[in-house]
Amino acid sequence: MTPTHEFDPQLLSEVAALPPLPGVYRYFDEQGSVLYVGKARNLKKRVTSYFQKNHGGTRIGHMITKIVRMETTVVRSEAEALLLENNLIKTLHPKYNILFRDDKSYPYLKLTAAQPRPEGGAPSAIAFPRIAYYRGAVEKKHRYFGPYPSAWAVKDTILLLQKVFRLRTCEDTVFNNRTRPCLLYQIKRCSAPCVGHLSAEQYALDTANAERFLQGQTQEILGELEKKMLVHSDRLEFEQAAELRNQMSALSKILHQQSMEIGGDKDVDILAVKVQGGKACVNLAMVRGGRHLGDRPYFPTHVEHAADVAALDAEPDSPAVALKEKSLEALVLEAFIAQHYIDVPVPPTLVVSEPVDKELMAALADQTGSRVAAIHQPREQRRVWLEMAQTNAGLQLARLLAEQGSQQARTRALAEALELPMDNLDALRIECFDISHTAGEATQASCVVFKEHKMQNSEYRRYNIEGITPGDDYAAMRQVLTRRYSKLAEAARNGEAMLPDLVLVDGGKGQVSMAREVFVELGLDLGLIAGVEKGEGRKVGLEELVFADGREKVYLGRDSAALMLIAQIRDEAHRFAITGMRAKRAKVRVGGSRLEDIAGIGPKKRASLLQRFGGVRGIASASVEDIAMVDGISTELAEEIYRALH
């Protein structure tokens, strides 16, 4: 059946010229945004299927009508195509792919490398490896263990290593300047190598055992410690034997506490997926060195498109399970595995709640250079782990749905109360402004944005307010609104931008009147403006909304969902303004950038000025003649300083 939509002939000719080779394809819309990234064993066959079938009113059909441009990359194998596809998905954020966003790097446990100790002298930190919590790029000379699901898991592991092996956690500068043991030595958490209580050779043995503990070789460590203890005992070296006994006791206690968690596996990731209400959660639980370290939930976007795209992408000749037959849970899980392990080391075993494509596992094995197994329907300890992960996935998803449901209800309640557009609540955009200063000092305005039922942190903006009478909030509001909407108003008239559906200002009639003046000058709709006026006694819950277009005040009610949303947005604007103002004020008070930005003011002259006048505010209150009396400051430079600070 031929498609009803007419495509650009140039695009169709590019499709016809595609080779029958493995590769990756990208579709773009008219604005240049990426719609979809896909892979294929046979590019020509796969891509042609998009443009030859009638997809009707499905989501994928709607996507296909938007395609105006295509890019393809030929690769050597399907495994290579799979890796490139998921790298592009993470980079380009296409609208119709399942996408896992992870903006947080994983924490690791870092064990610094030991270096040869200088002959003679006091103990040096370089000879005694340090354990530490770590995030960031890794260096080859050090050892890193992880990743861990949370900072808590790393710190808990460090505490265990301190209890059993007494490795140091102090910075090198602290180590090199100690003259007596610190408190950690007193509470038996460190062996005090900084003051020579332990030789570098003995410390190296503890370090090696700590590494083996992290790798899950606990029974071997216990056996070796026991042998050494007996040797010392036979030699009547009871003090050394007692130290080893205490170390064994601490290690045995930890193993006993973890007996319910330790299985035959050393490094395993447990992956459970739950799909409900158009949302999905993948819960990742980590086992490292035989220890269950905890879990971490992930919530993908664009799940609603997955089934349609999967049905279209199915290849009848694929040796793997046909995509048409896969559950949505399996599709989500495979997307997570493919995207997550691009940046994170893959353990040798994955325990999964859904069957995983063998080709995907083969691609992971090619990427890591070692065998990776995915085990579905596990037994014994692995089954217990998986059931725990499934329970947590369900709980996390229920929490997300409850939060989103309540937030959507708040958005709907506000739209109904203020008669805002109701046709697409996901696109409802609210911008809120607040002014903050301390007695007129370091005035800043904040603009926060609410859209898609949540605060959009990446779209927040701060504005430094200058050229007004200190403490004049009305002038500050006029300045920030003018700066915010002058260009936006022009772009909106040309159809190049969209104005917000509601502009909130934190204040009553005065601030709303100022906003009204700005909008009249810019030719904007006054119905967009509302002020949040504090109620009687400035009590929370008694706020009223004041409008610029002459409407009567609205009291939404103390328990109103709409008022809860207004309060949430207003409080966020206030918080954002306060933090910016405090940072700016601190910078000014220490004489940071304002003095250094003046041509001719170096560190010495800046120090002289601050010493004479006690701070920037003191300099600002001085006359040109007073400033010129400071050594090294000419009359011309004094005039320049005076102008800069006024």
First to last CA, the chain: 75
One domain for residues 615 and 598: yes
The answer to the question of residue 485 being in a domain is yes
Domain containing residue 614: CATH number = 1.10.150.20
One domain for residues 442 and 579: yes
The answer to the question of residue 391 being in a domain is yes
One domain for residues 250 and 275: no
One domain for residues 243 and 315: no
Determine how many CB atoms are found less than 10 A away from the CB of residue 414: 25
| Domain edge (last residue) among 197, 232, 257 | 257
- Residue tagged 């300047």 (tokens): 177
One domain for residues 296 and 193: no
Domain containing residue 521: CATH number = 3.30.420.340
One domain for residues 170 and 25: no
| pLDDT recorded at residue 539 | 66
How many angstroms separate the CA atoms of 293 and 251, rounded?
A: 17
How many angstroms separate the CA atoms of 220 and 251, rounded?
A: 12
Instruction: Give the residue from 498, 501, 502, 503 showing the smallest Cα distance to 480.
Output: 503
Number of H helices and number of E strands within the chain?
22, 18
Q: Which residues contact 59 (CB under 8 A, 6 or more apart)?
A: 96, 304, 305, 308
| pLDDT recorded at residue 505 | 92
One domain for residues 351 and 244: no
| pLDDT recorded at residue 264 | 52
Residues of the chain with pLDDT below 70 are: 1-5, 53-59, 102-105, 117-122, 218, 244, 247, 250-265, 305-325, 438-442, 535-541, 580-597, 614
The answer to the question of residue 239 being in a domain is yes
pTM given for the model: 0.61
| pLDDT recorded at residue 309 | 67
| Domain edge (last residue) among 257, 276, 293 | 257
| pLDDT recorded at residue 321 | 41
The answer to the question of residue 99 being in a domain is no
The answer to the question of residue 526 being in a domain is yes
One domain for residues 490 and 530: yes
One domain for residues 597 and 579: no
The answer to the question of residue 410 being in a domain is no
Q: Quick check: helix, strand or coil at residue 267?
A: coil
Q: Which residues contact 106 (CB under 8 A, 6 or more apart)?
A: 135, 146, 147, 148, 149, 344
The answer to the question of residue 420 being in a domain is no
Residue 357 in contact with residue 242, Cβ under 8 Å?
no
Q: How many domains does the chain have?
A: 5
Inter-CA distances, 147 with 6, 58, 106, 165, 189, Å: 50, 41, 6, 21, 24
How many angstroms separate the CA atoms of 27 and 224, rounded?
A: 61
Domain containing residue 329: CATH number = 3.30.420
| pLDDT recorded at residue 533 | 86
In a 13 Å sphere around the CA of 11, the CA atoms on its Cβ side amount to 21
**Chain CA centroid to CA 395, Å:** 21
Q: In the beta sheet, which residues pair with residue 503?
A: 431, 529
| Domain edge (last residue) among 398, 433, 466 | 398
> Which tokens go with 216?
């899950």
Q: Quick check: helix, strand or coil at residue 568?
A: helix
Instruction: Give the residue from 492, 541, 525, 532 showing the smallest Cα distance to 509.
Output: 532
Q: Where do the H-state alpha helices sit in 23-66?
A: 43-52, 59-66
Residue 59's domain comprises 9-92
Kindly report each contact of residues 213-221 with a partner whose C-beta sits within 8 Å and lies 24 or more positions away, as own/partner: 213/160, 213/161, 213/164, 213/165, 213/251, 213/289, 214/109, 214/145, 214/157, 214/161, 214/288, 214/289, 215/266, 215/289, 216/266, 216/267, 216/288, 216/289, 216/290, 216/291, 218/251, 218/255, 218/290, 221/251
Instruction: Give the residue from 133, 225, 243, 129 showing the smallest Cα distance to 188.
Output: 243
One domain for residues 338 and 320: yes
The answer to the question of residue 377 being in a domain is yes
How many angstroms separate the CA atoms of 499 and 488, rounded?
A: 7
One domain for residues 81 and 173: no
One domain for residues 343 and 300: yes
